Amino acid sequence: MDKLNIQEKKVWDILENIMDPEIPVLSILDLGIVRKVEVEETSQMPPELNIKVFITPTYTGCPAMDFIESNIRQVLTENGFNNIEVIHVLSPAWTTDWMSDAGKQKLKAYGIAPPKLTQQVCLATTFSDEDDVECPQCHSHNTQLISRFGSTPCKALYKCNHCHEPFDYFKCH
Amino acid sequence: MNKNSEINTNNKNTFLTDYCLHLADNSLILAQRNSAWCGHGPILEQDIAITNISLDILGQARNFYQYTAEILNSSKNNSSAAVTEVTEDSLAFLRDNREFKNCLLVEQENGDWGKTILRQFLFSNYQYLLYLQLQNSADEKLAAIATKAIKEVTYHLKWSSEWVIRLGDGTEESHQRITQSIHELWPFTEEIFINAKYENELTEDKIAVDVSVLKDAWYKKTAAIFAEATLTIPENVFAQKGGKHGAHTEKLGYILAEMQFMQRAYPGCIW
């Protein structure tokens, strides 16, 4: 591994510890928000490191993005990196397929039903079948959609007909 | 670059920024309208739904404004005069009534829940078809914004379609009320499908979507949902237009007065 690769690995390790502000059990890597890290040396002497972090929003209007950006800057600065650029990219569009398996497990343990393994994308057809979602508390599949829009853009509201607990479902996207 | 091609590039840029502003203004004004429901929705879940939709379309508006600002700032750098930098905020908060290019539909008043729902359905139905095409725009940035946003717009269309059916095919009162809203809003639907100059100029290069071709699919979907909702599409309605060129109904002034107040009274204030 050359010097730059080592630095890049270090940046990834740091990012692993930055949590999503709304779902604090998931890191921004678990969510698949960080798409790329580039580490370059400047031409001046002695050379300095330029860090570029490419992030993508989960939802277009996600208000957490500005917060995540400033978090990335702050934590990397604390770790001795100076020239940090955080670049927002829209394409390719984020999908729940990018959420890590570890992330899905952590979500479930936290009480939020993770997105289904097989991607079930929302269709415009009315009153169509809803995703069959397992209750994160009692694991019953006898659950019911309350609202397709939940406490954050990425979640829907469900209730369990078995244990009667309401829960959030991180919807497929 | 010779003088003629320079002028052409400038024109093209103006059409592109006008087009982006049109798309952004549509989303911003509707987001502003919907957000007035925050804390006033008929039940908590639907209050959350309409404000979630507001947030989604506000996000779209920000993307389009940021892109507009980027183009405007880079073309200014080429000229020698030092001008204040354009930002997404200056575009949203410091332009006046006549500079807004949103269609008239989105600026219409919220009315009751049924009217808000209907406005959302008429708009999402259009926006869904628009973004489906805009994903293939020759302009990469517009394509990326559309590809991202269409996933969200699908939810808006589904949700608002279901509500139109629920209210149309609900009680006598809900049926009568949403029928009234149809008569109030229908005159503002025609305008959406008439290409403005900036759209016409950009369709040849496959940057903008030719909105006139979306009309059939839009009408078909509207007719299908209305049929299920036992509602009727009005006929021989006089079409109101002008919003896409900056000639608005008196409603927009009130929206801007409220939305822009802080930045007008305390320029540059942040919190």
Domain ranges of chain B: 3-265
The Cα–Cα gap between B175 and B102 comes to 29
Q: Does A21 touch chain B (CB under 8 A)?
A: no
Contact B120, B162 (CB under 8 A): no
| Nearest CB neighbour to A93, from listed B49, B147, B225 | B147
CA-CA-CA-CA torsion sign (B193, B198, B199, B200): positive
pLDDT of res. A118 = 64
- Pick one of 2.40.50.140, 3.30.450.20, 3.40.50.620, 1.20.1260.10 as the CATH number of B3-265: 1.20.1260.10
Question: Average per-residue pLDDT in chain A?
Answer: 90
Name which of A12-21, A50-59, A118-127, B63-72 the model is least confident about.
A118-127
- Neighboring chain A residues of B140 at a CB cutoff of 8 Å: 91
Sign for the pseudo-dihedral over CA of A96, A98, A103, A104? positive
Asked whether residue A140 carries a pLDDT value surpassing 90, the answer given is yes
Region B135-159: what's the mean pLDDT?
Answer: 96
Region A48-76: mean pLDDT is: 92
Q: How confident is the model at residue B28 (pLDDT cuts 50, 70, 90)?
A: very high
A 10 A CB-CB count for A60 gives 27
Cα–Cα distance measured from residue A168 to residue A166, given in angstroms and rounded to the nearest whole number: 7
Closest partner residue to A90 (CB to CB) among B128, B148, B228 is: B148
CB distance B25 to B252 below 8 Å: no
Looking at A54, A72, A94, the residue that finishes a domain is A94
Question: Where does the pLDDT of residue B3 fall: very low under 50, low under 70, confident under 90, or very high at 90 and above?
Answer: low
Is the domain of A58 the same as that of A141?
Answer: no
Mean pLDDT of B110-121: 98
Q: Number of folded domains in chain A? A: 2
Q: What percent of chain A has pLDDT over 90?
A: 65
Largest separation between any pair of C-alpha atoms in chain A? 67
Token pair recorded at residue B66: 């940021």
Rg of chain A on CA atoms, in Å = 19
Indicate the helix (H) or strand (E) that contains A83: strand A83-88
Q: CB B218: neighbour CB atoms within 10 A? A: 19
Question: What is the structure's pLDDT at B212?
Answer: 98
Report helix, strand or coil for B183. helix
State the residue range of the domain holding A61: 3-94
Q: Last residue of some domain: A71, A94, A117?
A: A94
Tens digits of residue pLDDT in B61-87: 999 999 999 999 998 765 545 568 999
> Do A17 and A85 share a domain, yes or no?
yes
Helix (H) or strand (E) holding A69: helix A64-78
CB B132 within 8 A of CB B141: no
Domain boundary pick from A94, A115, A143:
A94
Q: Quick check: A119 pLDDT over 70?
A: no
A-contacting residues in B 156-175 (Cβ below 8 Å): 157-159, 161-162, 165
Sequence-separated (6 or more) residues with CB below 8 Å from residue B239: B187, B189, B190, B191
Do A51 and A105 reside in the same domain of the chain? Answer: no
Distance CA B154, CA B132 (A): 10
Residues A40 and A53 in one domain: yes
Q: For residues A62 and A77, state if they share a domain.
A: yes
| Residue A126 to residue B148, Cβ atoms within 8 A | no
Pairwise CA distance, residues A95 & A93, whole Å: 6
- Specify the DSSP class assigned to residue B186: G
Cβ contact B136:B206 at 8 Å: yes
- Please give the residue that has the higher pLDDT: either B139 or B268: B139
Residue B22 has pLDDT above 80, yes or no: yes
Token readout for B270 is 């942040």
Q: What CATH number is associated with residue A12?
A: 3.30.300.130
Chain A residues in contact with B23 by the CB 8 A cut-off are: none
Question: How far does the CA of residue B77 sit from the closest CA of chain A (Å)?
Answer: 22
pLDDT(A14) > 70: yes
Which residue in chain A is spatially nearest to B46 when comparing CA positions?
A147
**Which residues fall within 8 angstroms of residue B84, CB to CB, at 6 or more apart?**
B90
Local confidence band at A34 (pLDDT 50, 70, 90 cut-offs): very high
ipTM of the complex: 0.87
Q: Which of A122, A147, A153 sits opposite B45 (nearest CB)?
A: A147
CA Rg, chain B, in Å? 19
What does the pLDDT read at residue B82?
Answer: 56
Tokens representing residue B58 in the block: 């506000």
Instruction: Give the tens place of pLDDT for each residue, B158-213.
Output: 999 999 999 999 999 999 999 999 999 999 999 999 999 999 999 999 999 999 99
Examine the pLDDT at B96 and tell me if it is beyond 80. yes
Q: How far apart are CA B61 and CA B136, in angstroms?
A: 19
Give the contacts of B82 (CB within 8 A, at least 6 positions apart).
Answer: none
Q: How far is CA A129 from CA A30, A105, A134, B256, in A?
A: 29, 25, 15, 41
Q: A129 and A83 in one domain?
A: no
Asked if A150 lies within 8 A of B48 by C-beta distance, the reply is yes
Q: Do B56 and A153 touch (CB under 8 A)?
A: yes
Please indicate if any CB of chain B lies within 8 Å of the CB of A114.
no
Same domain, A44 and A83: yes
Residue B36 has pLDDT above 60, yes or no: yes
The pair phi, psi for residue B19, each rounded to 5°, is -65, -45
Alpha carbons within 13 angstroms on the beta-carbon side of residue B200 total 6
Q: How far apart are CA A103 and CA B181, in angstroms?
A: 46
pLDDT greater than 70 at residue B237: yes
Q: What are the tokens at B178?
A: 């949403």
Check: CB of residue B126 under 8 Å from CB of residue B115: no
